[in-house]
Amino acid sequence: GQQVMQIPQYQHVQEGEDFTTYCNSSTTLSNIQWYKQRPGGHPVFLIQLVKSGEVKKQKRLTFQFGEAKKNSSLHITATQTTDVGTYFCAGEGGYQKVTFGTGTKLQVIP
């Protein structure tokens, strides 16, 4: 079945440093979504990418969808303590078949 891997599993950064997490699917995706989960909380939708090579920005967050629609990345510029949490990608490979990545846990050191 479809597998979605994320790297790294954990990342510690000093506040102000940049952060990137990568998502790779074993199959071509129709779209990819990104979610953020704060410690003790539930996943919350951030963004959806649909087109090959698409790039979207949300303030300090930049999301990319690969040309082959099998990989994606999330880049945070100048991290802040409010960015702490686990970031998940979720790929839809077929009819409502959404597979979540393993997540990247971000810790920001003040």
Partner 1 sequence: NAGVTQTPKFQVLKTGQSMTLQCAQDMNHEYMSWYRQDPGMGLRLIHYSVGAGITDQGEVPNGYNVSRSTTEDFPLRLLSAAPSQTSVYFCASSPDPGNSGNTIYFGEGSWLTVV
Rounded to an integer, what distance in angstroms lies between the CA atom of residue 31 and that of residue 17? Answer: 29
Name the one residue in this structure whose structure tokens are 């990418």.
49
* The one-letter amino acid at 1: G
Q: What is the CA radius of gyration of the chain?
A: 13
Query: Toward partner 1, which CB reaches closer, 52 or 80?
Result: 52
The stretch among 11-19, 38-46, 57-65, 77-85 that binds partner 1 (CB under 8 A) is: 38-46
Contacts with partner 1 in 45-74 (CB under 8 A)?
A: 45, 48, 50
Pick the closest to residue 61 from 69, 52, 49, 50 (CA basis): 49
Residue reference for tokens 């979610």: 35
26: which residues sit within 8 A by CB, 6+ positions away? 2, 3, 4, 70
CB of 30 to partner 1, least distance (A): 5
- Cβ at position 58, least distance to partner 1 in Å: 15
Per CB under 8 A, contacts with partner 1 among 10-29 are none
**From 11-19, 66-74, 75-83, 87-95, span contacting partner 1 (CB under 8 A):** 87-95
Interface with partner 1 (CB under 8 A)? 1, 6, 9, 30-31, 33, 35, 41-45, 48, 50, 88, 90, 92, 95-96, 98-103
